[in-house]
Amino acid sequence: SKMSRAADRLKHLIGHLDRPPAAIVSFTLYSLDNNLLAPEQRLFYEENGFLLIKNLVSHEDIEKFRQEFERICRREVQVPGLVVMRDVAIAKSEFIPDQRAVSKLQDFQEDPELFRFCTLPQILEYVQCFTGPNIMAMHTMLINKPPDTGKKTSRHPMHQDLHYFPFRPAHRIVCAWTAMEAVNRQNGCLVVLPGTHTGTLKEHDYPEWEGGVNKMYHGVRDYNPDHPRVHLEMEKGDTVFFHPLLIHGSGTNQTQGFRKAISCHYAAADCYYIDVKGTTQENIDQEVKEIAQKRYNLDGVSFQDTWAFRGRLVQGDRISM
């Protein structure tokens, strides 16, 4: 595999040097020096922009997140700021108060049970390899990919998450995405283009799909269709950490079950906000401001404000975020 080739190369390198392995990776850009990641894991992330850790979240915790999700779907709990999304293929008239009507929850930072995911010590231990010790949870999602209706709307177009973020630097941001059940090609696992994290932020917009596209599901405008793809098949509790420039998406769910995953984007608490005027992010800036105005009747709120407002410190000190 690519992982073991990288490890072999590293072992070979180490064998020809009289310095400790830490010195070899001290020039790395995408990860930080600490004692958690093995040299081959760091090298893998540096080269590929993602790192899969097996069996990181307990089945017991996942069951609690699932139960909380179901309570939210049944409207037994009201969560301030929570955004409940439905698939475009489901007509408004078909409202049913259970998970069949919900394709995604966003911004669950005010739900103590779901937010516990973002504070799990074993997740933060990995997160700090990328962010350093001061950590903000910036963006939270529980994705409930529905069985596809045949219109292929359950797909998630290929994209870079940095498109949504008006903060930098990119390499101090990381996503943790945990499978809440076995995810595979049949139910629409994540698909990544390894190594694309070393590129720049590309232009994103709504893809021209015949069956319709979900709200805010922008896709990357041009990427190399011949770039090698990796389908991240994962077991329940497995967690992938990935860089916000890594091009990724997910396929249709061809099963009758709902494919669930829970995720959090973390940023170093000493990241800084940027002005996206004149950049490829102007379209998302505009769309987010319009939604904020409509939904919360908030005039004059900036794209950056919407992030500063949702972000929560999960470790260390809140510095500039």
Ligand X SMILES: O=C(O)CCC(=O)C(=O)O
* Binding footprint of ligand X on the chain (CB under 6 A): 141, 143, 145, 156, 161, 190, 248, 250, 261
Rounded CA gap, 38 and 182, in Å?
26
Q: Which is nearer to ligand X, 124 or 246 (CB)?
A: 246
Between CA 248 and CA 220 the distance in angstroms is: 9
Taking the least distance from each CB to ligand X, the nearer of 45 and 258 is: 258
Q: Which residue is nearest to ligand X (CB)?
A: 250
CA distances from 101 to 19, 90, 104, 149, 256 (A): 57, 7, 9, 13, 14
The distance of closest approach from Cβ of residue 59 to ligand X in the complex, given in angstroms and rounded to an integer, is 19
At its nearest, how many Å lie between ligand X and the CB of residue 189? 8
Closer to ligand X by Cβ: residue 37 or 50: 50
> Which CB atom, from 86 or from 145, has the smaller least distance to ligand X?
145
Rank residues 261 and 314 by Cβ distance to ligand X and give the closer one. 261
Using CA atoms, how far apart are residues 261 and 154, in angstroms rounded to an integer?
14
CB of 135 to ligand X, least distance (A): 20
Q: Which of 72, 81, 139, 172 is closest to 311 using CA atoms?
A: 139
**Rounded distance between C-alpha atoms, residue 206 and residue 68, angstroms:** 31
282 vs 188, 204, 303, 308, CA distance in Å? 30, 10, 10, 18
Which residue's CB is nearer to ligand X, number 39 or number 219? 219
Residue closer to ligand X, measured from CB, 10 or 158: 158
Task: Kindly state the smallest distance separating residue 207's Cβ from ligand X, in Å.
Answer: 14
Task: Give the residue among 166, 134, 126 at the shortest CA–CA distance from 312.
Answer: 134
Q: Give me the long-range contacts of 298-303 (CB less than 8 A, separation at least 24).
A: 303/166, 303/276
If the CB atoms of residues 87 and 161 are measured against ligand X, the closer one turns out to be 161
Q: How far is the CB of 180 from ligand X (least distance, A)?
A: 10
Least distance (Å) between residue 141 CB and ligand X:
6
Q: Nearest approach, Cβ of 104 to ligand X (angstroms)? A: 7
User: What Cα–Cα distance (Å) separates residue 40 from each residue in 20, 48, 142, 193, 215?
Assistant: 14, 12, 30, 19, 39
Least separation in angstroms between CB 265 and ligand X: 9
Q: Reduced to 3 states, what is the DSSP secondary structure of residue 199?
A: coil
Pairing of strands 135-145, 104-106: antiparallel
Specify the residue, 163 or 171, whose C-beta has the smaller distance to ligand X. Answer: 163
> Which residue spans within the chain are E strands per DSSP?
50-53, 83-85, 104-106, 135-145, 156-159, 167-168, 173-179, 190-192, 204-205, 219-220, 230-232, 239-242, 248-250, 259-268, 272-273, 312-315
Give 259's strand partners: 145
Q: How is residue 197 written in tokens?
A: 């994290």
**Closest distance to ligand X from the beta carbon of 103 (Å):** 10
